[in-house]
Amino acid sequence: MTKQDIIKSITTAFNIPQLNSMQQQVLATVESGESSIVLYSPTGSGKTIAFAIPLLMNVQESLRRLQAIVIAPSRELVIQINDVLKKIAPQVKTCCCYGGHKSRDEILSLQACPSIVLATPGRLVDHMNRGNLDVTAVRLLVIDEFDKTLELGFTGEMSKVLSHIPISARKILTSATVLNEIPGFVKLRHHVEINNLDNEAQTVTPRLKLWNVVTRGSSKIETLLKLLYNIPDEKTIIFSCSRETSQDVYNHLSRHGMACSLYHGSLEQMEREKAVAMLGNGTSIIISATDLASRGLDISQVKHIIHYDLPPSQEIFTHRNGRTARTGNTGNAYLITSGNEPLPGFARDVTHFELLDTRRHSKRSKIATIFINAGKKEKIARGDIAGFIARNTHVIPPDQVGIINVFDHYSLVAVPGDKIDEIINSLAPFKLKGLKVKLSIAQAKLKFARK
């Protein structure tokens, strides 16, 4: 793709008038011929689009070989980056490699000669060791959230990958914190540093309002419940420091009839994908999560971040808050404190939030989600599902079908909640693209959640 084609596709796909200043700076650096880039930029600043531009400029689809690799520290971030690339250039063949799903599917995708591979470090090395991919023609390597990748102990895996990448390959490292030094195994000969941290701090912080919610005369979980009744029914992420606490929060809110999902590292990949998709499509209003969700998840229009457990560090505080007030939007972050518990020193300009005794918000959703047991690997696309519904049911008009998410072996479709049983019953006799599929109501409540 040409630069002009890529920029036009970006502005159309993401409904933005032009690239932001950081993205323009990355593009100018790439065009200047500098070999590599170290990009310091906070979450929510558009850095994925920034490195997507040189990625797509360096890919020649006619070559039918691997030309670029993107490494990210989590499967969620790998999926998110791939989604961005697909919105910009759906015709470019990509392959995502990460734990939690069938490696056989990845092997088949690698055999189809993708132009770009996006992977977690461990899974990438595993495929290299098994001879499933050839990196000798790679022209560009991106390591997203390089600081987090080091922090999680992937030094050995990244060193292995970089030892096989051609020395001439351009490298782009992104980081939300300034690195004291760049490890020698990265082999940066010449590079340009682009520091967007200070500039972003001046523009992002005013968009985020910080509130302190004090627990008085009741338990912390009851304070959380009161807070949820006091804020509008908008997308909300509640952060806890442990899986057990996030599970307890989820259970408590579910018992009170709130449209809530759960997200932590002990869940199966499908359950985590469903939790994010159902918050994104409006079936859930709330997601109870650990800090696993503070990096990599890009859910549009999250309005409220609740620190049920206070963040143990400024970095975690920043990444939690980065789930809201993204790309020009505003947001709120609430810190719940108990008794005389002090606020962290890095939480500045915090306003006291006065809880009113109200139950006017039930946090119930008018949206429900249909689960279909077929997805990308069965050659199902969003358009196939939209057409399947439009042709075979008159329960709702096509414009009432909400967000359609297609995963490897299943799909999710948002529809009006009061019509979901009728829709499923009307569609049940028909085949989807020649396949007899099972349709059911996707549940946010998990069958193994503790009572």
pLDDT tens track for 420-447: 999 999 999 999 999 999 999 998 655 4
Identity of residue 58: N
* pLDDT at res. 8: 94
* pLDDT at res. 450: 43
Extended strands (E) in 299-375: 304-307, 331-338, 350-352, 367-372
Contact 161, 118 (CB under 8 A): no
Mean pLDDT of 113-128: 95
Give the Cα separation of 74 and 175 in Å (integer).
Answer: 14
Burial call 166-182: b when 16+ CB within 10 Å, e when fewer: eeebbbbbbbbbeeeeb
Q: How far is CA 17 from the centre of its chain?
A: 23
- Please report which confidence band the pLDDT of residue 294 belongs to, taking 50, 70 and 90 as the band edges: confident
415: Cα within 13 Å, side-chain hemisphere: 25
Give the Cα separation of 213 and 221 in Å (integer).
Answer: 12
Q: Is the per-residue pLDDT at 383 higher than 70?
A: yes
Kindly state the percentage of the chain with pLDDT values over 70. 94
Chain segment 230-267, per-residue pLDDT in tens: 998 899 999 999 999 999 999 999 999 899 999 998 88
Lowest-confidence segment of 39-48, 165-174, 250-259 by average pLDDT: 39-48
Q: Between the ranges 36-45, 304-313, 351-360, where is the mean pLDDT highest?
A: 304-313
Contact 278, 412 (CB under 8 A): yes
Give the Cα separation of 95 and 67 in Å (integer).
Answer: 12
* pLDDT at res. 296: 61
Mean pLDDT of 103-120: 93
| Listed residue (212, 177, 187) closest to 42, CA to CA | 177
Judged on CB neighbours under 10 Å (0-12, 13-18, 19+), 241 is: middle
* pLDDT at res. 99: 84
- Please report which confidence band the pLDDT of residue 451 belongs to, taking 50, 70 and 90 as the band edges: very low
Contact 363, 374 (CB under 8 A): no
Q: How far is CA 342 from the centre of its chain?
A: 31
Chain segment 323-358, per-residue pLDDT in tens: 887 766 789 999 999 878 899 999 989 999 999 877
- Please report which confidence band the pLDDT of residue 448 belongs to, taking 50, 70 and 90 as the band edges: very low
Identity of residue 317: F
Domains of the chain: 3-195 (3.40.50.300), 204-352 (3.40.50.300), 367-441 (3.30.70.330)
Q: Is the per-residue pLDDT at 201 higher than 50?
A: no
Q: How far is CA 77 from CA 88, 198, 311, 388, in A?
A: 17, 24, 21, 31
Mean pLDDT of 309-325: 88
Residue for token digits 């409540």?
445
Q: What is the DSSP letter of 320?
A: H
- Please report which confidence band the pLDDT of residue 63 belongs to, taking 50, 70 and 90 as the band edges: confident
What is the C-alpha radius of gyration for the chain, rounded to an integer number of angstroms?
23
Contact 320, 290 (CB under 8 A): no
Q: Name the token pair of 336.
A: 């719940």
Q: Is the per-residue pLDDT at 375 higher than 50?
A: yes
Kindly state the percentage of the chain with pLDDT values over 90. 65
Q: Is the per-residue pLDDT at 285 higher than 50?
A: yes
Max CA pair span of the chain: 68
Are β-strands 439-441 and 367-372 bridged in parallel, bridged antiparallel, or unpaired?
antiparallel
- Please report which confidence band the pLDDT of residue 56 belongs to, taking 50, 70 and 90 as the band edges: very high
Are β-strands 116-119 and 94-97 bridged in parallel, bridged antiparallel, or unpaired?
parallel
- Please report which confidence band the pLDDT of residue 26 belongs to, taking 50, 70 and 90 as the band edges: very high
| Listed residue (191, 203, 151) closest to 38, CA to CA | 191
Which neighbouring-strand residues pair with 413?
370, 404
Any alpha helices (H) in 311-438, and if so which ranges? 314-321, 382-392, 420-427
Q: Specify the DSSP element, H or E, that contains 221.
A: helix 220-230
- Please report which confidence band the pLDDT of residue 449 belongs to, taking 50, 70 and 90 as the band edges: very low
- Please report which confidence band the pLDDT of residue 202 belongs to, taking 50, 70 and 90 as the band edges: very low
Contact 405, 371 (CB under 8 A): no
Mean per-residue pLDDT of the chain: 89
